[in-house]
Each structure stands twice: as C-alpha cells, then as structure tokens.
Structure 1
Amino acid sequence: MKQKLVIIGLLLGSITSSNAQLLGKIRNTANQANNAVETAKKAEEVVNTGEKVAKKVKNKGGASSGTSSLKLDWNMYKQTPAVTFNSLLYGTSIGTGGLTRFSGYTATFVPNKTTSGATVNTVHDQAEFLKIKVYKGDQYITYFEYDGFQQFDDGKKIKYNTPDSRYKRDGEWVGGTEIDVQKWGTGDYRLDFIAGDKMFYSFNFEIQKLTNSDPYATMNEMYVTRGPWNDYAYMNYDESGNLVFGYYLNHEEFKPDPANSRKTNKSVKWSVKVLKDNKPFAQQYGTGAPNVAQVEQAKWNEYRCALKLVDKPGEFKFANLTDGAYKVELSIEGEAKPRKYSFAVKDKRIVQSPEQDRTKNTDPTRLIEGWNDYFWMKLEK
C-alpha cells in the first residue's frame, strides 16, 4: 500500500490541476476497497504479532541457493502465476551510486495453501515461502526473502514486500534488497520469482553506468536501469469508468539545471493524442496545455493522465471505445519525435497483445500480467 501511495503522490505532482482532480476521484474508490480488504487481513493475524520475532529467528539459516522444501498446491488456481507488469517497473530500481532495491511486487495466482491443505503462515513459513533470486547473466548472485502477509482480491494477489524484521542468510543478518553493482558490474540482470519449491516468473533488465567528464562535478558516475521502462506504455480501465493513459520516465543528466548543481529533478512537458482510424479521437484531459512532470534523475516514475474526446466535453470513458484501430502519440519535451503505440478494439474491449493474452502467451514465466484492467502497448520503433 505504501508503494501505491508513493506512486500516486508522484503522479499528482506531474499533471495539471484539472487532470489531478479527476485522477484523485478515479483513485479514491479503488484505494478505499483495497484498504478495507488489507485491514481485514491484518486483523486476522494480529494475534500472532507477539510471536513474530521468535518465529523468524527460529526458521532462518537457509542455504545460499535459496532452496525451499515448502510444497504449495499449484492446482489451487486454473491460471498460471505471474507478477503484474506495473509492479515490476515500480518495484525494480537502482540508486545512482549502484545499490539496488527489489521490493513491492504484486504476484498473481500464487497459492497460499500447501499440498496437505494447510494455509501458509506468512510469518512462520517466511524462510520457505516467497523469494527472489538475482542473477547477472547466468551467474547466480544471491536471494532475498519476502513477507507475503499482504494479500488481496480473495488471495489471488500477494505482495512481495521487504520483511519488517531482519532474517539470517548464510549466518548473516539481512535487512534489505541491496546488491552492490559496483562490485558485480554492469550488464544484463535477471530476477527469478520463487514461491515454495517453484520458480514461476522471470524479469530481465539492464544496468549501465554513465560517466561524467566534468572534473568539477559533484557526481562523476551514475548507475541507471534500462529495459521495459523504455519500451512500454499502457491503457488502464479505471474503476471509475475512465480510460487512463500511463508510462514511465526518468532522465540521465548529471546536471539538468546548469545554474543549480543541487537540483537533480527536471521539469518535462508531455502530451498525449489518440487517433482512431488515423483521425483525431482523444487527448489528455484538461485545457489542452501539456502536462508537466517532475522527472527524477535515474529513477523511473509513473506518469498518468485521464483522456477526453476531442469533439465532446468531459472525460473519456472506456464505454466510448468502439471497434477499430487506434494509435497513441506521446510527445515528450526534448525528444525529436513522438513515441507511438498501437492497439485495437474488438467488441468494445481492448485486444491484448499476444504477450499479455493468457490464451496466446507461450511462456508463462514471461507473461505480461495486466490483470483485467491494464493493457500494455509496446513502443513502435
């Protein structure tokens, strides 16, 4: 939940006031519903909090391979497990100095019962339940444990949150999700998501190091992540009935403000146009003026806007979608040409890409999970 609130805070700072008011209304209903479910689940286990530290210490000391003997009931759901694509993008980050953060992911259809029918105790079974293994190329680096306490949508979604208390790994206490890229080097990285005795999902991304040639600069090196953040945007069916466009953005400048070396954020104007059958159809909600994002140095943040029809007042509802071919043009200040994405609508529903459509995806460990409300579009190059 904390992660969602952080994202929403960044969002509201990045859009015009009229768009911010609309998106505030859009998010209110969903937040209230999630809060209610999560509060109820916390109440169910609050009696166990007195045992928490003792049980965690008792169960620690797993091998460096991160293996588990916990047998989960993988027949609990008909759907294969995955990790929501949006949580992969906001949960995977690296500081400019090279320390990673891997947390806040939302897994879907991970069973919370064992093959014997017992419900997994997310405190007592933490060392055996949820893990992420980190690889550079094919080289295994380490693993992290996660607290699966936060579950919602009738248990069909579970959060990979960093545990409240430290745990032991190879005899040493661990309290975060950091690996030091200065030690391991730049290149291609992979996260393997584990639940019980099964690896069910993988996420690939790249880490690079930028060098500043200015000998007087306060920062001479900067680490950045690249990959799906650059390549995807989405359309979101919001619970309010609105259709919302979103994407991720960062900047890689050492000194975005020449007059102030301490200012690392950068103001960036951006706007969206939607074409239907090559004719203007919709644009960002508001007066027509571009949105302004406060873009962070090296850190990917999510930017969203509601839409409105070009020839009618009011916001664009997904009920306004009619069958046809659509194109999205995202114009970002400083980029020579708009970013372009395409999607189709059939039977008044956005058609999922083969990578997202569970009936067409050929590798469940690479499924683009959008649940039933996020439709991901790949950048046309």
Structure 2
Amino acid sequence: MAGVLEGVRVLELGQVLAGPFAGAILADLGAEVVKVERTEGGDDARRMGPAFRHGDALNFHIFNRGKQSVALDLKTEAGRAHLDRLAAQADVFIHNLRPGVPGALGIDGQTLCARHPRLIYGEISAFGATGPMAMRPGYEPLLQAFSGLSSTNGGEGDPPMRSGASMCDQGSGMWLVIGVLALLHRRERTGRGGLLSTSLLETALAWNAQKGDAWANEGRLPQRHRSGHPGFVPYEAFDTADGPLLICCGNDRLFAKLAHALERPEWIGDERFATNRARLAHKATLFEQLAPILRTRTRAAWSERFEAAGVPCAPVHSVPEALAHPQVQALGMLAPVPGADFSLTAMPLCIDGSRPQVQGVAPRLGEHNARHQVPTPPITPPETP
C-alpha cells in the first residue's frame, strides 16, 4: 500500500519519545521523515536500555523506525545553515527540544516560519507554551504527578501511581500529528503553513478531563477504583479460582444477565441491587456475595458461561498472554520490520482495509548525511556494552 502521506517531507529534531513518536506515526503513514541528531551520540534514546541492534536500544528502534538520520553540529554556523536548508525543503518541522533551545538556535516557530511561510511547525514542551512554568523541562512521571493524573490511579488507600504506558509523551505526539494533518489540509487551500504547540501537561489534563471537569463543575473529587468505575457496579476485576476476570455490567439489563449466569435471580428483585444507583449505594454488600461465588470456578469457565449469557467480561492478561491470543494474532499488530530480523507493534489504524506498515529499520547515526548533501562531521557513536 502506498503511504497516504507519500510526498510529504518531515524534519524532526526529536529526543527520546514525544517528538520521535510523532515522527514515527508520520513515517508509518508514508511521509519521508528526516531525523536531525547531535553528532555526539545522537538521540539519547539510542542508549535508553541495553543494546538491541547496531548498538542502539530497542526503544530507539520502536520510535524511530522508517526514518533517515542526519547528524549535525548545531553549535556551528555551518550546521545551522544546513538545518535551515533542510527546513526550506520540508513540509513539516517537529521538535520536542528543551525550552529556550529553539530560540537560541534561531529555529523558534516565529523565526523559522517567517523564512519559510509554507512550513508547518510543531513543538512539544513539558508544561506548555505559556505560563510561569513554560521554560521548565519535564519527563513523563513528573507530568503525570503534576497534572493530578497519578492521584487518580490505583485504589482507595493506595499511594499515587503513574500509568504503565507513557500516556503524556505518546499522547502529545498524537496530538501533534492531528494538528499537522489539519494544517496540511488548510495549506492546500491557503498555501501557508502555521504554528502548532502541545505539551505533556495539556495532554495529561485532557486524558484526565472526566475527573477534572467533575471537580470544576460539581466540586466532586474522583474516587479511586483500581480496575473499577465510579458510575457502574459491578464493573471491575474479581479473583477467580486461577486468575482475575474483569466484568462490566454497564446497565441493569446486563446485571440481570449476570445474576442469571451466577444462578442468583433473586438479586434482580432485591431493592438493594435492582438498579445501578442502588448497587452503587450497596456495592460492599453486593460484593460480599459476589466475590466468593467467582472464586469457585476458573477464569476460563466463568468466561465461557458469561459470554454465552451475554455478560461483557475479559481475563486480565499478562503481556505474553495478550500477544499470544488468537484475536491479537488475527489483527496482525506485531509486524516484521523490512530488512531486519525483528518485529514491532504496527499502527492501530487501517486505511482502506490495510494497516500501514513499518517502513524500515531505525537509522544509524548520520546514515543519511550524504543523501541530503550534508558533510559528515566527526561523529561519536552510541556507547556499546
């Protein structure tokens, strides 16, 4: 399948995750993504873990697949001149540089777009483009903590917890791509590019909007439910004889099906359990009866019974269990990397029935300098064990 963004050139000054993830999405969609790296070791993600291939960590390969690498010393006038030439040839410029660095290099949005009016310029920061903390750098767990997101994870009595996934970094990359696609569409009509900005903090606040909006509009603090839900009962994981099973009764009809499947039809007429609002008020009483029943059978046995009854449920899988499941296998999400001996998770999106595939292996540092007519300066490769 030809990439839907074929013919679009992206210049990326990305470090570690948020910016590189945006570039990886655009590369999977068929754009030509030229990654500009420092000559001293390149992107820090090359060393984010043990060496996987070519001395680079697996994380680097995940977020830089299908790109080209140009190594430039932006501390020199010649390096900055080459970068400006590359920007003149690009449709999109994206970065997640530390605040203040773009201005010091003369590549802030206002300056670069004044020189190249068709350029779409996107930046990702930690705390946002304005405000008293705009110049402060930050990392994923810091922003999950600062935004209140960590305070809503876990259950009652648990300490604040970060989510396992890098929701703020990767979410910021996604928002930037959405903005890029919108401005590419506008440029078709107007011929001009534009400025995009997003941040890890804004992304965290957006992901936590249900909790934030409840406080802002109703003065209601979020309850913590681990796997549960503040608005439905039962709607969480329960222990079975051999592992946890998540049950989701999102309405009274589904609860009635659950009661029949558990051979407890009397629950349907019990005023404490008959409606979801009643179950919310008597959750502890219901769970005192429900939990011992579920521990009498295996996860597979309950899953089979509930699925036959039309009760939404799912086993709480480990990562190996999830990847081995026939449904995950059928989706073809784990895709081989062309020209490499390993596979990576592909884009969770299909276009015209086909999933955009990884375009190629992550580049070695400075591998494409010659292609872009950039002299190869002295390069310090990533350290190897």
TM-score tier (shorter): under 0.3
TM-score, with normalisation over the residues of structure 2? 0.24
Structure whose residues are more often strand by fraction:
1
| Larger-Rg structure | 2
Structure whose residues are more often helix by fraction:
2
